[in-house]
Amino acid sequence: MKKEKTIQIDTAIIDGNQRIRLFFSYDQEIIDLVKSLPGARWQPAMKCWHIAMAMGPAEKLNYRFQGKLAFIPKELPSIVGSGDKQKTDDCLIKVPDEFIKTMKLKDYSIRTLKTYTSMLRLFMNFYKTRTLDDLTDEDIREYLLYLVDTKKVSQSYQNQAINAIKFYYEQILGRPTHTYYLQRPKREKKLPSVMSEEEVVRLLKQINNLKHKAALSLIYSAGLRVDELVNLKIPDIDSSRFQIRVNQAKGKKDRVTLLSSNILKLLREYVKEYKPKEWLFEGQDGGQYSAGSIQAIFRKAKKAAGIQKKATVHTLRHSFATHLLERGTDLRYIQELLGHQSSRTTEIYTHVTEKGFKKIISPFDNLDL
Considering 151, 212, 225, 302, which one is annotated as catalytic? 225
Whether residue 178 lies in the annotated active site: no
Strand partners, 6: 70
Output the CA torsion sign for 60, 147, 163, 139.
positive
Name all contacts of 168-174 with Cβ < 8 Å and 24+ positions apart.
168/96, 168/99, 168/120, 168/132, 171/102, 171/106, 172/96, 172/98, 172/99, 172/102, 173/133
349 in active site: yes
Whether 250 is catalytic is: yes
Reply yes or no on whether 190 is catalytic.
no
Q: Which DSSP symbol is given to 288?
A: B
- Annotated active-site residue in 5, 245, 250, 299: 250
Q: Is 318 a catalytic residue?
A: no
Distance, in Å, from the CA atom of 150 to the CA atom of 154, rounded to the nearest integer, reads 12
* Cβ pair 323, 198 in contact under 8 A: no
Q: Are 215 and 274 in contact (CB under 8 A)?
A: no
The catalytic residues are 225, 250, 314, 317, 340, 349
